[in-house]
Amino acid sequence: MDKFLKTIHELTDIVGPSGRESKVADYLKKNWNEYGEVKEDRLGNLSITIGNKGPHIAFSAHMDEVGFVIKYIDEKGFISLNKLGGIPERVLSGQKILILGKKGLIQGVFTTWPHHLTPESEKYKVKPIGECWVDVGVFSKKEAESIGLRVGDFGVYSRSWHVEGKTIFSNSLDNRAGIACMSQLLENVTKKNNFKLSLIASVQEEFCIRALTPTVRELNPDVHVIIDISPATDNPEMQGYSDIKIGHGPILHLHSFHGRGTLGGVLPPSWLVNYIEDCAQKQKIHIQRSSVVGVITDGAFTQHLNYGIPTVEVGFPVRYTHCPIEVCSLVDLKNLVNLINKISKDFYNFYSKQSF
Ligand SMILES: [Zn+2]
């Protein structure tokens, strides 16, 4: 298997919901260590900085994935959950789950109606999380506790992986594929750079979208590039929504806005947009410009730190975001690596000519 593809597979295979990212962090520490000192703040955000002079560009990607937390175990041993991040309930019925119990990973399945007995009135209904239950194969609360399950234990979607041609089907491509792309930058920088390059692998993005704050405040980069997914809309359900397609190139967000209560989003400065488009053009990479409501990243908050941190979001298109199996293109990921390499390589020349 392609080495880069293998890395993506390894990263998506690691269980790491928001607040429980340590295994992803361990994997990265092992791989980043050979390039320099890997720092970890007190929330668990990892960072590495190459170079010690000149303008400073930071790239970040989040390590965590959406998941669940056990809320209640009933007398028969069925488990009720809270959502950890944006989990769409419509995909849960009959779905497999992995729970990080005290004694290790426990598999379970979301209960559902037996097809033969489903009344017409229930067939097309989606149950809210409070009405969903997980069956872990035990028959009492006591037995559930005896296999190591407790209120407050975390869960994730079951692991899943296959590749068809250049199309990847996997859990947690959001944002392990982003982490894999960002890590590739380390292979192309040297300590002799006349600029500072930092990589940040952040925690709890899916939970609170701002846990990255302490490390960004500390590093105080001149430019912050956030790498994350962007919802592709090339499946039949989304026809006519936008032009974002998998296999058509990395994404440049011109406008992202949460739109669900939080007045948060990123409007990248035009000089930074122009720079990124310029880098793409030089590398002959087609990039997809995006304006999206419903998406938010840590950048919405970290851009306000210190004296202001110019921030831009780039990424890769993904179908079925936050679902058990997400779909993206290896071609887009490789082009994204090529693009961010160019962004970092030309950064000194670009930034030193700017008059702010
Ligand atoms: Zn994400």
pLDDT digits over 281-295, tens only? 999 999 999 998 888
Q: pTM of the predicted model, to two decimals? A: 0.96
What mean pLDDT comes out for the span 89-110? 97
- Which domain does 11 fall in, by range? 3-65+171-352
Q: Which residue from 227, 237, 208, 191 is spatially nearest to 312, judged by alpha carbons?
A: 227
What's the Cα-to-Cα distance from 303 to each of 182, 225, 239, 250, 274, rounded to whole Å? 19, 11, 33, 22, 18
pLDDT tens-digit series, residues 78-98:
999 999 999 999 999 999 999
Residues 81 and 133 in one domain: yes
Same domain, 218 and 340: yes
pLDDT-above-90 percentage for the chain = 90
Residues 6+ apart with CB under 8 A from 19: 64, 84, 154, 203, 204, 207
Angle, vertex CA 238, rays to CA 237 and CA 244, nearest 5: 145
Q: Is residue 162 part of a domain?
A: no
User: From ligand 1's centre to the CA of 267, what distance in Å?
Assistant: 18
Q: Environment class of residue 349 by beta-carbon count within 10 Å: exposed (0-12), middle (13-18) or buried (19+)?
A: exposed
- CA 191 – ligand 1 centroid, Å: 30
CA of 236 relative to ligand 1 center, distance in Å:
23
- H or E element: which one contains 27? helix 22-32
177 and 248 fall within a common domain:
yes
Distance 260 CA to ligand 1 centre (A): 16
Measure 319 CA to ligand 1 centroid, in angstroms: 13
User: Quick check: is 304 in a domain?
Assistant: yes
Domain assignment of residue 165, yes or no: no
pLDDT tens for each residue of 214-241: 999 999 999 999 999 999 999 999 998 8
pLDDT in tens, 183-196: 999 998 776 778 99
Into how many domains does the chain fold? 2
The answer on 120 and 264 residing in a single domain is no
